[in-house]
Structure 1
């Protein structure tokens, strides 16, 4: 009996030892497989360049909407904010509206294959509507697909200057060849900007827009343009610092070649 018990105990010890060794050997493999899973929030250069055309929109705005231009009848006030959004599934520039009559929110993105801008919107009643379009001089013109009744909607976003932007809403019914005005929102920038992009002031290290928010990494100060860029930088500062250095080097070479 004693010999039998010793045999059983011995087998148990060997099994426990084998299990322990297997666990220890398997741990590095698990760590190696999970290393580097986190992906940078940085956008492909072509997409970032296309969306950077709208860096001047980043920030908060106060808007006055009018059904008929220069008429207070049916007019309303709203607030809006444009913020860069970095997400593996949905990246672009988010457009959030408070007290809006025609929009609740939207996401502006760019399709590099089709060379078109996309605007995915949510209306005040929760309905979703997608637009596609292009930049025409200083105005981004986007059209929807026909709805169930054949109506097509158009949004035109026009930058007047650093402090003024107009957003025009239009509709074209089935069988019509022209658009008629639904409303227009005139936006005035809320607050001030440190600098306009390219003016010599601080630049956003993530998008190249006007730097308005200070961030730091390893004791050095950088600037970003919005909360979305701040989050992206804090998630992966090394990538954006490297991209900024590369961009600065390209600028230096271009200036020397002139």
Structure 2
């Protein structure tokens, strides 16, 4: 009888030890105080993102086809062992929620994202030229996804979504969301005044490029122009072309 009881106790102990070991494997190792401080310092680089934002999403820059509006908010998450920034999107087309963390050991950022359909996708990356560039591992089809966060200033942020197929060499644009901090007034629509080359709003300052002068409505548009002047100019020409066509159609209809 004693042998049987001892065997049962031994088996129970082994099972309990196995359960504890399995649970320990599932739990991430706690960060040291030094690493936690380093992770928080790295995330503080993005303090300008904290708060609420109004977003305008576009599949193609300058086109309203497939465009959408969304609300987003960045908040600190400091109660857990690992500091993080949480990103929550309302009516988002590309993301639903996400958590941004930093690993001092690998010196890289990780974005754990939940997509609008509930699927999950992780991205890893670093800061490149003041932009946070995050890339996912290839999925079952060999597709790689990339997110680029560009902070134009305290009031404007761009988030670019791209992907690259298994047989493709370059990333292609999926969509881009331009965020304006909540509580910030949008540029006024120009009426007889020079128009901003970026938004079409009222131009209040100028910038020279290849011998020509262009108008801008704010510092955010200036940085956007400097980031991609040829793309901005091409979009503005297309916008002007459509505006003239619409005006001509209206004049013809009223004649």
**What's the TM-score bracket when you normalise by the shorter of the two chains?**
0.5 to 0.7
**Length-normalised TM-score, structure 1:** 0.57
Q: Which 5+ residue runs of structure 1 have no aligned equivalent?
A: 1-40, 193-258
Counterpart of 1:51 in 2: which secondary structure? helix
Classify 1:154/1:145 alpha carbon distance in 2 versus 1 (closer, same or farther; 3 Å): same
1:150 is matched with: 142
Q: Is 1:71 equivalent to 2:71 in the alignment?
A: no
Partners of 1:43 and 1:146 in 2: CA distance: 29
1:123 is matched with: 115
For CA contacts below 8 A with separation 6 or more, give which structure has more relative contact order. Answer: 1
Partners of 2:80 and 2:139 in 1: CA distance: 29
Counterpart of 2:66 in 1: which secondary structure? coil
Give runs of aligned pairs for residues 98-247 of structure 1, distance below 5 A. 98-191=90-183
Partners of 1:90 and 1:102 in 2: CA distance: 25
Partners of 2:94 and 2:179 in 1: CA distance: 14
Partners of 1:126 and 1:42 in 2: CA distance: 35
> After the TM superposition, which parts of structure 1 deviate over 2 Å for at least 4 consecutive aligned residues?
41-44, 87-91
CA offset at residue 89 of structure 1?
Answer: 5.0
Partners of 2:118 and 2:81 in 1: CA distance: 21
* Partner residue of 2:89 out of 97, 122, 133: 97
Counterpart of 2:43 in 1: which secondary structure? helix
The structure with more radius of gyration = 1
